[in-house]
Amino acid sequence: MSVWLPTSPCTPEACAGHEGDTASVPRAVLRLTAAVALILLGILGAPPVRLLPAGPRHTVVRAWSAVLVRAFGIRISVHGSPGPGGGRLLVANHISWLDIPLVAAALPCRMLAKSDIRAWPVLGRLAGQAGTLFIERDRIRALPATVGTLTGALLAGDRVTVFPEGSTWCGRAQGTFRRAAFQAALDARVPVQPLRLTYLCRDGNTAGAPAFVGDDPLTASLWRIARARGVRAEVTLLPRIPPGRYAHRRDLAAAAQRAVVGAWTATPAPDPLPGIPAQPATPSATDRDSAKRPAASVHHWVSSSPAAASSLRTPS
């Protein structure tokens, strides 16, 4: 693992426990079976879906992504408005591999993921079918080319989702936003839209089960999520930062991070997005963030996803 890569102090033992009700083993197996069936359906359906016009394609992607998250027993709420269409850089805090279908359920987009995901069983193929952009995360020399690819996607009008913390955190703490992906937004002169992702238990406390941190194996994460009950996921779509407001990627990254952290305590008021229970939020555009030392199995960086499938994660 390269020393320049961001890391998080979160570990499965310390952060990924579930303190609520648990599902029975048969129910958990049923959830996993349904999820695998949906993923296989996504792989088979991705090619024809890509041929659909943008509107119907987005509708199909949102519906499939929402059903996939729901198959694990997790309810979704979306707060805020996606705003007008067009190219934009979506930036979010990063907690789990579930972040990808969760974001796609709110806003179909392209994902930039670490190249290791290509080798994941089933999910890797789905990522490729979905138009995921892959990055050699351990090769810093590949970063300029990746930023160039992101710029091209944004100029083409794509939404690109990025997890600029460069590593997954448990949701109780956050990492510092890395700056590289923000250069693509500056070069393409597109808005940046911060997103806040949260997983909560019935009592409103942060849910640990979805956290995919440290050296957590994917199989263990899948089983832990399938066994958890009463978990809900919230996506808060924050006001977009217009192009030209910041001249340097450092300032743009800091502003996006303040927005995401400031939204953590925002209290949303009801108003649904089509197909998903939702409420608009009145989030702030500034605040603070913190970062520490991460664990060895960090995954994502910058993520983006096209209008035809769900997405996966990346580094930054």
pLDDT at 117: 65
CA atoms within 13 A on the CB side of 212: 21
Yes or no: say if 234 and 274 are a contact pair by the CB < 8 Å rule.
Answer: no
273-276's contacts with Cβ under 8 Å and 24+ in sequence apart are 273/78, 273/81, 273/82, 273/106, 275/59, 275/62, 275/63, 275/66, 276/62, 276/66, 276/76, 276/77, 276/78, 276/105, 276/106
pLDDT at 91: 95
pLDDT at 98: 93
Strand 232-237's sheet: what is its strand order? Answer: 75-79, 232-237, 192-200, 88-92, 159-162, 110-114, 133-135
pLDDT at 279: 36
User: CA-to-CA distance for 90 and 236, rounded, in angstroms?
Assistant: 12
pLDDT at 46: 82
pLDDT at 145: 81
User: CA-to-CA distance for 67 and 88, rounded, in angstroms?
Assistant: 25
Residue stretches of the chain with pLDDT short of 70: 1-6, 113-140, 142, 263-316
CA distances from 5 to 49, 113, 141, 153 (A): 36, 14, 13, 24
pLDDT at 244: 92
**136-194 pLDDT, tens digit each:** 656 667 678 888 888 999 999 989 898 998 888 888 878 899 898 899 999 999 999 99
pLDDT at 127: 62
